[in-house]
Amino acid sequence: MTELRAGDAAPDITLPDQHGKPVALRDLRGRWVVVYFYPADDTPGCTAESCSFRDAYEDFTDAGAEVIGISADPVESHRQFAEKHRLPFTLLADVDGTARSAFGVGRTFGLLPGRVTYVIDPEGTIRSVFSSQFRPRKHIDAALATIRSGS
């Protein structure tokens, strides 16, 4: 599995959101998209990361970006997680690992699903990749900086 890098085309994935509705990345072309992979709903690091994206959500939407979180948790878990923490963005259920595989997101120490954020430009090209299992809040700053710089 090869992790995608800046300059690569974003894969065309379709997964169910926290309401069971299918969401296709191709349908978001024309705007910036921040896709962040996280290990699991309601764990300390993932909750901190998701709540940080929530707290900066207006900054992302003001910059013309959509935020999407992806983990292997099922639809119902995502729905509960989003409601509990008032997450205003889409969470996608990658139960079989299709998206994780398409983006090449591996495991940390061979155990934990990786924590990686991709910023995709309006044409569908990955502009930046930020990977840090242990600095979940840094993903937000890196993603916003890429969008604001336009590259």
Among 15, 46, 75, 129, the active-site one is 46
Compute the distance between CA of residue 148 and CA of residue 129 in angstroms, rounded to an integer.
15
- Asked if 136 and 115 touch (Cβ cutoff 8 Å), the reply is yes
Residues, the chain: 151
Q: Examine the residue annotation and report whether 51 is marked as an active-site residue of this protein.
A: no
14-149: in CATH 3.40.30.10: yes
Express each pLDDT in 95-151 by its tens digit: 999 999 999 997 665 566 778 999 999 999 999 999 876 666 677 888 998 999 985
Q: Which of 50, 69, 58, 55 is nearest to 136 (CA)?
A: 50
Nearest to 66 by CA among 100, 90, 47: 90
Residue-wise pLDDT tens digits, 40-85:
999 888 999 999 999 999 999 999 999 999 999 999 999 999 999 9
Q: Which of 73, 72, 4, 20 is nearest to 12 (CA)?
A: 4
Instruction: Please state the pTM of the whole predicted model.
Output: 0.92
Hey, where are the domains in the chain? 14-149
* Pair of tokens at residue 19: 């309401």
pLDDT digits (tens, 9 = 90+) for 4-25: 999 999 999 999 999 999 999 9
